Amino acid sequence: MAKMLTKVGHSYIVRNHKIHGEEPIIEGTRFPVRSIVFYVLKEGMLPEELVDEFPHLTLPAIYDALSYYYDHREEIDNLLKENIEEIWKTRM
């Protein structure tokens, strides 16, 4: 059987070929790194507010997701762009 989780060099970030097309997610959740980036860096939410809103997340995981973003900025920016385009397509 193929390995489902792939570690990516960050303690809390993995890729699972069965979740979100294998994009990076918070381990133990279905929460993608791109969503952390969207809420914190694009919408201005504090990491503490994100934990209050999504209690299955932890501050260390959120900060690790942000660190992953800065290490892989182009990849995550592309995922954000694709996701926003998909949302607009479904609204038309």
Read off the pLDDT of residues 23-45 as tens digits, 9 standing for 90 and up.
999 999 999 999 999 999 999 99
Tell me which DSSP letter residue 55 carries: T
Domain hosting 42: range is: 5-91
Confidence category of residue 85, pLDDT binned at 50, 70, 90: low
- Separation of alpha carbons 68 and 63, rounded Å: 9
Other CB atoms within a 10 A radius of the CB of residue 80 amount to 19
Confidence category of residue 83, pLDDT binned at 50, 70, 90: confident
Task: Provide the domain count of the chain.
Answer: 1
- Separation of alpha carbons 41 and 65, rounded Å: 11
Tell me the pTM: 0.84
Domain CATH for 76: 1.10.10.10
Residue with tokens 């479904």: 90
Cβ atoms of residues 57 and 45 within 8 Å: no
